[in-house]
Amino acid sequence: MEGDDIKRISRLAAILTQLQTKRRLTAPGLSEKFGVSTRTIYRDIKALEKAGVPILTEEGKGYTLMEGYKIPPIMFTEKQANALILAEQLVLKNKDASFVKDYSEAIDKIKSILRYTIKDKANLLANRTQFNQVINQERNSNNLSDLQSALTNYNLVKIQYINKEGTATNRLIEPFALLSAENWYLIAWCRLRKGFRFFRLDRIQKIAVLSENFEPHNLTLQEYFDQYH
């Protein structure tokens, strides 16, 4: 098999993985990612279609896969998918470029078999989670998994919180983002204080994720820092 053929087969497989990982892809985006012309990408998409891959073309928007095209051989729960996203964010801080690349490609393959609903939530969590140094950190809270789920499903959360002065208050909060430095922190809209607040997870004494939903806060984590800090 010629070298160009091998490259093309590898690219077609990578495009298929990308289609299964992302909700929508564009020809210019794929062209930039793989270092080929958009015309080559158009030919690749047609080749995948001829091979029976049900690619939907949205005029002016890009390409998506038909829902349910690939039946996942393994069904991840939402919390398992969230755990993988947290692990990915930690690995992205590693200074070895090859290790980051290999792990990121592995995570892409895992994401490709997630159902769309879980995939969307996993991508949201990845965009709303920020790490500093957490290696060898003492484990001092047990609420991260529940708060991840509340964040991605827009569930109100009722907590009993003790501040640094030792005063306990009951709060109704809307989880927005998770951060880690020396401790884990939750950024949430506090209905008691009528504003965004930081909550240290190890100071949350009681927690209840409610079935009631809140309206999503339509800003990114970076926009939050730009506006409030």
pLDDT value for 74:
53
Assigned token pair, 143: 């609420």
Bridge partners, 195 (sequence order) = 190
**Which carries the bigger pLDDT value, residue 117 or residue 37?**
37
User: What percent of the chain stands above pLDDT 90?
Assistant: 28
Residue 134 has pLDDT above 60, yes or no: no
pLDDT in tens, 76-103: 677 777 777 777 776 676 555 666 677 7
pLDDT above 80 for 217 = yes
CB 203 within 8 A of CB 183: no
In which band, very low, low, confident or very high, does the pLDDT at 216 lie, cut at 50, 70 and 90? very high
Residue 218 clears pLDDT 70, i.e. is over it? yes
**Distances from the Cα of 23 to the Cα of 9, 17, 40, angstroms:** 22, 11, 21
Class of domain 144-228: mainly beta
Q: Does residue 75 register a pLDDT over 70?
A: no
Q: What is the mean predicted confidence (pLDDT) over 120-139?
A: 63
Tens of pLDDT, residues 146-163: 898 899 999 999 999 999
Q: Backbone dihedral region of 96: left (phi > 0), alpha (psi from -120 to 50 degrees) or beta? A: beta
Can you tell me the mean pLDDT for 165-184?
A: 89
Mean confidence (pLDDT) of the chain: 81
What CATH class is the domain 3-65? mainly alpha
pTM over the 0.75 mark: no
Angle between helices 97-111 and 3-21 (to 10 degrees): 60
* pLDDT for residue 16: 82
How much is the pLDDT for 109? 73
Domains of the chain, by residue range, sit at 3-65, 78-127, 144-228
What secondary structure letter does DSSP report for 25? B
Tokens, residue 175: 């989880």
Instruction: Report DSSP state, residue 137.
Output: P
What pLDDT does residue 174 have?
97
* Range with the largest mean pLDDT of 41-45, 87-91, 189-193: 189-193
Distance in angstroms (rounded) separating the CA atoms of residues 173 and 191: 6
pLDDT at 1 over 60: no
Q: How many helices (H) and strands (E) does the chain have?
A: 8, 8
Mean pLDDT is highest, among 9-18, 87-96, 110-119, 145-154, for 145-154
Largest CA distance in the chain: 71
Contact of 157 with 173, CB cutoff 8 Å? yes
